[in-house]
Structure 1
Amino acid sequence: MARLDGTLWEGVALRRTRIGADPDAPPRALALPLSWEEDAAAALAALVPGTGPATLPRVVEAWIARALERGQKAGLLTPEEAPQLAEGWRALILTRRGSPGAEVWRGDARAEPRFVLNLPAFLEPEGGFDLEGYGEACALAVMFLDAMSSGKATRLRLGFADLAGLLATLNLAYDSAEARQVAAGIAALTRGAAESQSGRLAARLGAREPVALIWPTPPESTPLPGLAAAARAALDSAAAAPGMRHAALVALAPADATEALLGAESAGIAPAPGATRAVETETGIVDVPTRAAMRAPPARVAALLGPVSDRSRRAMLAAVTPFLHTAPAAPAAMPAAPRPAPTPRPVLRRRTGQTLHVSVGGHKVALRTAEEDGVLKEVAFSLSKEGANYRSLMDSFAQAVSAGLARGVSLAEYVDAFAYTRFGPAGIVEGDPDIPRATSVLDWAFRRLAIDYLGGALPQPEAEDVTPDSAARAAEQSPLLPLDLPSAPSKTLPRARNLRIVA
């Protein structure tokens, strides 16, 4: 990594992980900053084409190099300016303040590129908002998008994300007038800073568009100190330019994996999806607080991140739209039904104190149980090699069994119903000395539960019953169509003589 020496990448500690873009995708080897969470790793897997290893610095440097090459070839920037611009773009990624959209990461030359800024990343430790840094980020984004188009595009797509997360951190309810003031101020600052940079490019390279004669009026004051003045100053700076290089600059777009890479939890001006999010862990799916919930005042989480009305969403859209060059393509998405912030859950207990891990026919299976005073109350399965449909079916089955146990259905009834059920995977059981073979995952699980909770082991199936091509013994078979066969062919069906009945 010699070419990264002397840049912001030098000294950045990276961690290596293996993860797929989604739970059903094959995992790939990735390297990203040590402090970035698994959600960011999954987003990187989705953004980088292919299935092989990927390292964040290498991928970022690839699109930085493309932008610098195109910008210099088009005369937008000089070789002396290139290193400073490159460091600015690296800084936006490393601080997770901004990034180009998925089309740039994937090298899709046919798609119009965009650049998104993550609003909560500009919050300062003492509680303020880095207004100067945000204005510089807007200028860097304009330079990047213009360079990627080789200076030919007259319409760029600069946007921001996670307004809801910013408002919650500022203790502002989404459906309040104060929240709309902040949103309008952010949009005005974005437009003013972007148009100011377009004006600076026009002064160097020649104007292609006139300066607007009518400007939207930014809010006179906002709960965020300094925002109104910064927005007004940015718009005044743009108005003083000799002309514009671009006809449009600010547009809010639907989210892609870029927002997840930056840690943004909502797109554009969409409301927050709730106070918690589902996360899959080794012990199952649990609810954890969202980043917005962790930053918001604890006593106000429910009020700040609860559902909002359609009227509130339209009001927020109306407050922001005057400062956008392109109106959003669709209204902000409705948030998911809110759930309360999670409380610590009791640890699931077994007599052994651990989850059982075995292999049935070469397929890894984990059986988890929960009990109260030695009585089984809940079961759950984890299967590593099966497809999404099969895993979903097993999850639903486990929930149905758990619901029955909670309502008084005896475990013995479930054992009678599901022990010796026959479907794949089946075969040799590794990891359970009491059950050497099983006709299915359910067969192993319920015979294991019978040993642990009913005090007795059931007979083992015969070896031929667990082979992949085994059929049930004659005594266990039943006809697929339990109908009496006619004694003679029907006279009303003249073609019956051409059919053969196979017993």
Structure 2
Amino acid sequence: MSGTVWEGVALGRLRAAPDPDSPARAIALPLAWGEEEAAALAALAPGSGPILLPRLVEGWIGTLRERGRKLGILGDAAEADRFAEALRALLLDRRGAPGAGIWRGETRGQPRFVLNLPAFLDQEGGFDSADYAAAVAIGVRALDIWTGAKAPRLALGFADLAGLLAGLGLAYDSAGGRAAGAAIAALTRGAAEAESGRIAERLGAREPVALLAPSPPAATLVPGLAAAARAALDAAAGCAGLRHQGLVALATPDAVERLLGAESGGLAPASGPSRLMLDRDGWVAELPTRAALRAGPAAERLLAPVPHAAWLAMAQAVAPFLHAAPPLPLAEAAPARPPAPAPAPALAPRPSGAVWRASVGGHRVVLRTTEDAAGQPVELAIALTKEGAAYRSLMEAMMQAVSIGLAAGVPLATYVDAYAYTRFGPAGAVDGDPAIRQATSVLDWAFRKLAREYLGRLDLPDPDEADCAPDAIGRAAEQAPLLPLDLPEAPAPRVRRRQLKLVG
């Protein structure tokens, strides 16, 4: 790797897994990258052993370089070296990379190449159209080489349009945002078709140049973007012929978008200015997104969730410059006929809330509430950092159900009575909460905490250690009798086990 960009890259080592249920792998990657990028590499790299990023990347770059020379797409060794170095630079700058199939060496399926739009923001707050057009050309060439110069259609796309617009100070649901999105798509198509024309000059044209093409926006609020899009389309129109029927296609994101730092796929809107993720201490915390950090004080306005109609409007503006329809969210359900009963009341405004962190039986838990104007909880969320994906999903779904009930008017006290002292692991000592020292489960701690904070209830004492043991079956008074018989006095669990006899 001497003489390449790798020579000046300092590497560090992390352990990461593609998901919480998979074993962690040792990963060597640039020091500036973090755990999120390491997890993405764990998902992209084949096998289950250690990962050295330069070696992994040079594997598919070397394949592209060799195939390109044999196919004649890369003319000589010098051109092949420049192509390889351009691919390395795109990845290290987190501007673009091939899809998961190329990382894994897969030959089946349609390969893809992704460009991370916010990475092309320049220091003056504009968009680097020249570098972006060059990156598009590199991506087209890489895809054509990987497919053996035989595929009539390629899949080059971009990611995180919402993050780019926020960085440019444009609202997603605005005429200026849609014009910028259309110009980006037009620039992508023009640069891709121009590269297809250059490949056709070497290998022969297979497709004619389109005589009628959509016109890009005449002007945008981004300096130079409309002119760059127009120039790229004009360059494509001047080709003698094209090599491909289609080139620009957006796809459902995979681990590559995560590796590049893209926070939304394709032209999808942002989900908000913050996200839940692990902080340096391993706790789940609500942190600003990369787009929010770029947008600064305007983040709340620029990254607020938008209605379904805004997504459709953006798709209509961008779609004429794509060679395949963009993936869209599921359509909103039509109203029932005859009209259904009135829906549950909408959640009240949530100006505030609370966050509590604790450790139950050695497992870290974060409980979050959002409150209405009266200071009462209207939504609950819980996060666990050590449990499996199925367990975490079940807990999240349960809290979502409770939130729906609160919005429909179910008293919080009803849930407290139902879930306080429920028994399942993890259970035991509670650290980080001076008011609650023992809990029989995560739900026990959470709902007794809510009872103290919002209902002022001090009548829910801590269980003893025996109640928190894995084999505890509860006091007799807490168990519903199967027959209408008087219950004996409640013996300790250990005494009860001594009274059992095995017969057979």
* TM-score normalized by the length of structure 2: 0.73
State the shift of 1:315 in Å. 2.1
State the shift of 1:29 in Å. 1.4
| Candidates 164, 170, 173, aligned match of 1:172 | 170
Which residue pairs with 1:40 in the alignment? 37
What is the identity, as a one-letter code, of the residue corresponding to 1:70?
R
State the shift of 1:174 in Å. 1.1
What is the identity, as a one-letter code, of the residue corresponding to 2:121?
L
The superposition leaves residues 267-303 of structure 1 with CA deviations (integer Å, 9 ceiling, x where unpaired) of 11111111111113446422111111111141x2222
Q: Is the 8 A contact 1:271 1:333 kept in 2?
A: no
**Partner Cα separation in structure 1 for residue 313 and residue 443 of structure 2:** 57
Seen in structure 2, the aligned counterparts of structure 1 residues 5 and 305 have a Cα distance that, compared at 3 Å, is same
State the shift of 1:51 in Å. 2.5
Which residue pairs with 2:236 in the alignment? 238
Seen in structure 2, the aligned counterparts of structure 1 residues 203 and 426 have a Cα distance that, compared at 3 Å, is closer
Q: Is the 8 A contact 1:288 1:341 kept in 2?
A: no
The superposition leaves residues 67-125 of structure 1 with CA deviations (integer Å, 9 ceiling, x where unpaired) of 12222222221333211100000010000000111111222211110111111100111
What is the identity, as a one-letter code, of the residue corresponding to 1:24?
D
What is the identity, as a one-letter code, of the residue corresponding to 1:201?
I
What is the identity, as a one-letter code, of the residue corresponding to 1:86?
A
State the shift of 1:393 in Å. 6.3
**Partner Cα separation in structure 1 for residue 313 and residue 226 of structure 2:** 19
What is the identity, as a one-letter code, of the residue corresponding to 2:58?
E
Which residue pairs with 1:229 in the alignment? 227
Give the total of aligned pairs: 441
**Partner Cα separation in structure 2 for residue 263 and residue 338 of structure 1:** 32
**Partner Cα separation in structure 2 for residue 332 and residue 394 of structure 1:** 25
**Partner Cα separation in structure 2 for residue 338 and residue 67 of structure 1:** 53
**Partner Cα separation in structure 2 for residue 477 and residue 342 of structure 1:** 39
Unaligned 5+ runs, structure 2:
333-345, 369-380, 432-437, 450-457, 486-502
Seen in structure 2, the aligned counterparts of structure 1 residues 63 and 472 have a Cα distance that, compared at 3 Å, is same
Within-5 A mapping of 1:67-466: 67-77=64-74, 78-281=76-279, 282=281, 284-298=283-297, 300-330=298-328, 364-366=362-364, 386-390=387-391, 418=421, 461=466
| Candidates 41, 58, 69, aligned match of 1:61 | 58
Equivalent residue of 1:17, what SS?
strand
Unaligned 5+ runs, structure 1:
349-354, 371-379, 432-437, 485-501
**Partner Cα separation in structure 2 for residue 252 and residue 283 of structure 1:** 34
State the shift of 1:426 in Å. 8.3
Which residue pairs with 2:483 in the alignment? 482
**Partner Cα separation in structure 2 for residue 208 and residue 10 of structure 1:** 41
Q: Is the 8 A contact 1:119 1:161 kept in 2?
A: yes
The superposition leaves residues 326-383 of structure 1 with CA deviations (integer Å, 9 ceiling, x where unpaired) of 222435999xx9999999x9996xxxxxx8879x6xxx4457899xxxxxxxxx9997
Seen in structure 2, the aligned counterparts of structure 1 residues 65 and 185 have a Cα distance that, compared at 3 Å, is same
**Partner Cα separation in structure 1 for residue 64 and residue 349 of structure 2:** 45
Q: Is the 8 A contact 1:219 1:228 kept in 2?
A: yes
Is 1:18 the counterpart of 2:15 in the alignment?
yes
Seen in structure 2, the aligned counterparts of structure 1 residues 277 and 236 have a Cα distance that, compared at 3 Å, is same
What is the identity, as a one-letter code, of the residue corresponding to 1:324?
L
**Partner Cα separation in structure 1 for residue 238 and residue 38 of structure 2:** 44
The superposition leaves residues 183-210 of structure 1 with CA deviations (integer Å, 9 ceiling, x where unpaired) of 1111111111111111111112211111
Seen in structure 2, the aligned counterparts of structure 1 residues 476 and 103 have a Cα distance that, compared at 3 Å, is same
Which residue pairs with 1:495 in the alignment? none
Seen in structure 2, the aligned counterparts of structure 1 residues 248 and 339 have a Cα distance that, compared at 3 Å, is farther
What RMSD in Å do the two structures reach over aligned CA positions?
4.5
What is the identity, as a one-letter code, of the residue corresponding to 2:104?
R
Equivalent residue of 1:18, what SS?
strand
**Partner Cα separation in structure 2 for residue 460 and residue 240 of structure 1:** 80
State the shift of 1:442 in Å. 7.5
**Partner Cα separation in structure 1 for residue 462 and residue 68 of structure 2:** 74
Which protein shows a greater Rg?
A: 1
**Partner Cα separation in structure 2 for residue 179 and residue 21 of structure 1:** 34
Q: Is the 8 A contact 2:97 2:256 kept in 1?
A: yes
Seen in structure 2, the aligned counterparts of structure 1 residues 313 and 81 have a Cα distance that, compared at 3 Å, is same
The superposition leaves residues 216-256 of structure 1 with CA deviations (integer Å, 9 ceiling, x where unpaired) of 21111111111111111111111111111111111111111
Which residue pairs with 1:352 in the alignment? none
Q: Is the 8 A contact 2:209 2:237 kept in 1?
A: yes
The superposition leaves residues 120-153 of structure 1 with CA deviations (integer Å, 9 ceiling, x where unpaired) of 1001112121111011101101110011011111
Q: Is the 8 A contact 2:13 2:27 kept in 1?
A: yes
What is the identity, as a one-letter code, of the residue corresponding to 2:254?
D
Which residue pairs with 1:491 in the alignment? none
State the shift of 1:308 in Å. 2.2
What is the identity, as a one-letter code, of the residue corresponding to 2:48?
T
Q: Is the 8 A contact 2:90 2:135 kept in 1?
A: yes
What is the identity, as a one-letter code, of the residue corresponding to 1:149?
T
Q: Is the 8 A contact 1:288 1:342 kept in 2?
A: no
State the shift of 1:313 in Å. 2.1
* TM-score normalized by the length of structure 1: 0.73
Seen in structure 2, the aligned counterparts of structure 1 residues 213 and 15 have a Cα distance that, compared at 3 Å, is same
**Partner Cα separation in structure 2 for residue 338 and residue 248 of structure 1:** 46
**Partner Cα separation in structure 1 for residue 23 and residue 183 of structure 2:** 43
